[in-house]
């Protein structure tokens, strides 16, 4: 990585604040969601996840601008990472990594994590692997928009 790019990335990471996602963030969340996924979550889906007391929903922001979010639900003895997205202009700047670090911290390491990710999403798979997630199989035709398979990943 060039010194200039490393410095710019470090500066971007320093200004980012990770906090609990709030209902007031949802208009910005929906905007990022629609630009990130071919079949975006609805507002109702985000409201439902935010209303669950056992879940962890986090936002990354800088200068009052929402940069990204993560939604994680607890199911009995496992955390399920449901949704993570970063605004297109801020991808590759470490925002998703900051969200993941905080998510793991807030879970207190008491339970394993699982997630599904498109098999074609090599960038996301690489990030998850850097956090210690490992492949545990494939869900065939998991994504309804194009029938793409999902890679199942676990972090113990």
Indicate if 69 belongs to the active site. Answer: no
| Active-site option among 33, 49, 69, 128 | 128
Segment (H or E) for 96 = helix 95-107
> Are 39 and 28 within 8 A, CB to CB?
no
11: Cβ contacts below 8 Å, ≥ 6 apart = none
Residue 121: DSSP 8-state: -
Query: Who's near 18: CB < 8 A, 6+ residues apart?
Result: 58, 59, 60, 98, 99, 102
Q: Which of these is catalytic: 106, 116, 142, 143?
A: 116
Residue holding tokens 């990130």? 36
Nearest partner of 117 among 147, 153, 86, 75, judged by Cα: 153
Active site residue 128: yes
| Active-site annotation, residues | 116, 128
């Amino acid at each position: 990585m060039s010194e200039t790019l490393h410095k710019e990335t470090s500066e971007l990471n320093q200004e980012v604040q990770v906090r609990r996602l709030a209902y007031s963030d949802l208009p910005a969340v929906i905007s990022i969601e629609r630009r990130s996924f071919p079949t975006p979550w609805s507002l109702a889906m985000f409201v439902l996840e935010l209303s669950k007391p056992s879940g962890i929903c986090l936002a990354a922001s800088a200068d009052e601008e929402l940069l990204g979010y993560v939604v994680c639900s607890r199911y009995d003895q496992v955390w399920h990472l449901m949704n993570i997205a970063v605004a297109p202009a801020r991808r590759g700047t470490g925002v998703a990594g900051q969200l993941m670090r905080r998510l793991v911290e807030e879970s207190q390491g008491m339970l394993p994590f699982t997630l599904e990710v498109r098999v074609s999403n090599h960038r996301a798979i690489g990030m998850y692997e850097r956090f210690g997630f490992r492949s545990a199989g494939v869900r065939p035709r998991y994504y309804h928009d194009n029938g793409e398979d999902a890679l199942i990943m676990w972090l113990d």
